[in-house]
Amino acid sequence: MTTTTAEARRISVGIGQLALSRDPHDILVAYGLGSCVGIACYDPEAKVAALAHILLPSSEGKRVDDREPARFADTGIDLLLQRLAEAGAVKRRLIVKVAGGAAVLGAANAEKFKIGVRNAEAITERLKHHGIRVTAADLGGTKGRTMELHVATGKTFVRTAASPASEL
Amino acid sequence: MAVDELIPTLAAVAADGAVRAGRGLSGLMGQEISIHVPNIRTGTKNDACDAVGGEETVVIGSYLSISGDITGHVMLLFPEPRALECVDLMMGQEPGTTTGPDEMACSAISELGNIVGSAFVNALADHLNLVLHPSPPQVLHDMAIALVESVYAEVLSQGSDVVMMDAVFEDQKGRTAGLLIVAPDPASLGALQRVAA
C-alpha cells in the first residue's frame, strides 16, 4: 500500500494528551514542545504507534485529571505503556524516542524553574524503571520543537521554528 | 477564584499602563507613538495561541516575570510579520523596511516589551498599592505554543486562564498590534482579589 502526503491525517497531541494509532495514514504530532517532552513509541512488528505530550515531571501530591492523562511523566508513561500493551505492542520491541525539555523563556528563568531539565530527567528515569532504553533523544536547548511520529513507517521527525524537519 | 473577576481592575490598569508606555516609547523614539488596549479578556493557553495566529505560528516577543507582593508573568507577543511592522514603527521607518527578524529587530522588540511590560507592572503596583518588580526582559523568538506552554508548565494549574490584551501601536505612518499576556501565579490570585475589591 502506498501512502501519499495527501492521504495523511495529522492528529494533534495536545499538552497532557496521548494518542495511539495503528492506521498507516496517521501522523501523530506534538506541536511546539517547549519545556514539555514528547515520547514517541513504535512497535515495528505489531505496527502500533503512540505519542505522549508530558507537561510536568511528577504527579507526587497532585491529582491526575482524566482530561490530561499524560500531564505527568510518571503516571503518563505508566498509562502510555499500558495502552500500548493493550493494543498488542510488546515492551522489548518498542522503539522509544524523546524530544523537548527546552528552556524557551531564557536562561535566567530556566535556572529558576528547571522544568525542561526536570522533565527530561523524570522521563528517562521512568522509562528505565520500566526497563526501556531510549533509542534517540533531542532534549534541552532553548528552542521549541514540533515532533511527528509517522504510523506507517515508525519514523520520528523533529523541527524547530528555525530548522526544517529532520529524522530523529 | 477565577481570573475573569479581575478584568475590571486590569482594564483600568491597562488603560493607565498604555498611556505610560506610549509616553515612554515616544520619549525614547523622539516621535509620537500612541498605545491603546481596545480589548481585554481571559482565555486558555489555546486561546492565547489562536490570538497570535495558531500553535505553530512563529512569534517574536518579550517575556518578563513579576516579583514582590504578588508574582506572575507578562509576555508581549507578535506574529513575525506584525513584529517587523512594529520595528519599522519604532524606528520611524516606512512600513515594509524591515524584512526579516534580525538581531536589530529582536533587540527592538525586547526594548518594546520592557517598556510596555514595565509600564503595565508599574500601573498595577500604583493602582493596587503593591510593591512589584519587573525582571529584565527576555527576547522570545519561537513557536507560540512552545512559549505559552512553558509558562503554563511553570505556573498555571490545570484549566487556569490567562489574561489577554490586544495592544495596538500607532504613529502617523501606520499601526500594528501585539498580544499582551498576563498570568498571575495561582498563589497570588487571592492577594490580587483582596486588593482589587
pTM of the model: 0.84
Probe site for chain B from A10, A31, A113 (most B CB atoms < 10 A): A31
Query: Looking at chain A, which residue has its C-alpha nearest residue B157?
Result: A62
State the catalytic residue, choosing from A27, A36, A95, A115: A36
Rounded Cα distance, B187 and A147, in Å = 33
Q: Give phi and psi for B150, each to the nearest 5.
A: -70, -35
- Is the pLDDT reported for residue B159 higher than 60? no
Domains, chain B? 3-196 (3.40.1550.10)
Under 8 Å between Cβ of B45 and B148: yes
Domain enclosing residue A57, as ranges: 7-163
In a domain, A2, yes or no: no
Contact A106 B150 (CB under 8 A): no
Q: Which three cell numbers stand for residue B84?
A: 517587523
Residue B176's pLDDT band, with cuts at 50, 70 and 90, is confident
CA-to-CA separations, B25 to A79, B20, B83, in angstroms, rounded: 51, 9, 16
Alpha helices in chain A (DSSP H): 73-86, 107-113, 115-129
Minimal CA separation from A81 to chain B, in Å: 23
Residue from the list B55, B63, B151 with its beta carbon closest to the beta carbon of A31: B55
Q: Give phi and psi for A66, each to the nearest 5.
A: -60, -25
Contact B147 A104 (CB under 8 A): yes
What domain count does chain A have? Answer: 1
- Is the pLDDT reported for residue B103 higher than 90? no
What is the 8-class DSSP label of residue B178?
E
Contact B153 A108 (CB under 8 A): no
Which residues in chain A have Cβ-Cβ distances shorter than 8 Å to B139? 106
Under 8 Å between Cβ of A97 and A137: yes
Q: Are strands A145-150 and A26-33 parallel, antiparallel or unpaired?
A: antiparallel
Which residues in chain B have Cβ-Cβ distances shorter than 8 Å to A57? none
- Is the pLDDT reported for residue A113 higher than 70? no
Q: Give phi and psi for B157, each to the nearest 5.
A: -85, 170
Probe site for chain B from A59, A72, A109, A115 (most B CB atoms < 10 A): A109
Residue from the list B63, B144, B158 with its beta carbon closest to the beta carbon of A106: B63
Rounded Cα distance, B21 and B31, in Å = 13
Rounded Cα distance, A25 and A3, in Å = 7
Residue A110's pLDDT band, with cuts at 50, 70 and 90, is low
Query: Looking at chain B, which residue has its C-alpha nearest residue A65?
Result: B158
Q: Are strands A136-139 and A95-100 parallel, antiparallel or unpaired?
A: parallel
Residue A41 annotated among the catalytic residues of the structure: no
Residues 129-168 of A with CB under 8 A from B: 143-146, 160-161
Residue B189 in 3-state DSSP?
Answer: helix
In a domain, A111, yes or no: yes
Helix (H) or strand (E) holding B8: helix B7-29
- Residue in A55, A28, A5, A49 with CA at minimum distance from that of residue A157: A28
- Is the pLDDT reported for residue A105 higher than 80? yes
Rounded Cα distance, B88 and B96, in Å = 7
More confident residue, B135 or B162: B135
Residue from the list B55, B143, B150 with its beta carbon closest to the beta carbon of A105: B150
CA-to-CA separations, A137 to A82, A141, A156, A157, B5, in angstroms, rounded: 22, 12, 11, 11, 43
A106-110, A136-140, B126-130, B131-135: which range is least confident on average? A106-110
In a domain, A18, yes or no: yes
Give the pLDDT score at B110.
Answer: 85
In a domain, A19, yes or no: yes
- Residue in A165, A129, A124, A163 with CA at minimum distance from that of residue A147: A165
In a domain, A135, yes or no: yes
B147 Cβ neighbours under 8 A, 6+ residues apart = A32, A34, A104, A105, A144, B59, B61, B63, B75, B77, B140
Under 8 Å between Cβ of B171 and B36: no
Query: Looking at chain B, which residue has its C-alpha nearest residue A145?
Result: B146
Contact A32 B152 (CB under 8 A): no
Residue A19's pLDDT band, with cuts at 50, 70 and 90, is very high
- The 3-state secondary structure of A85-131 reads HHCCCCHHHCEEEEEECCCCCCHHHHHHHCHHHHHHHHHHHHHHHCC
Contact A105 B63 (CB under 8 A): yes
CATH number of the domain residue A80 falls in? 3.30.1330.200
In a domain, A46, yes or no: yes
In a domain, A139, yes or no: yes
- The 3-state secondary structure of B74-120 reads EEEEEEHHHHHHHHHHHHCCCCCCCCCCCHHHHHHHHHHHHHHHHHH
Give the pLDDT score at A2.
Answer: 45
Average pLDDT, chain B: 84
In a domain, A99, yes or no: yes
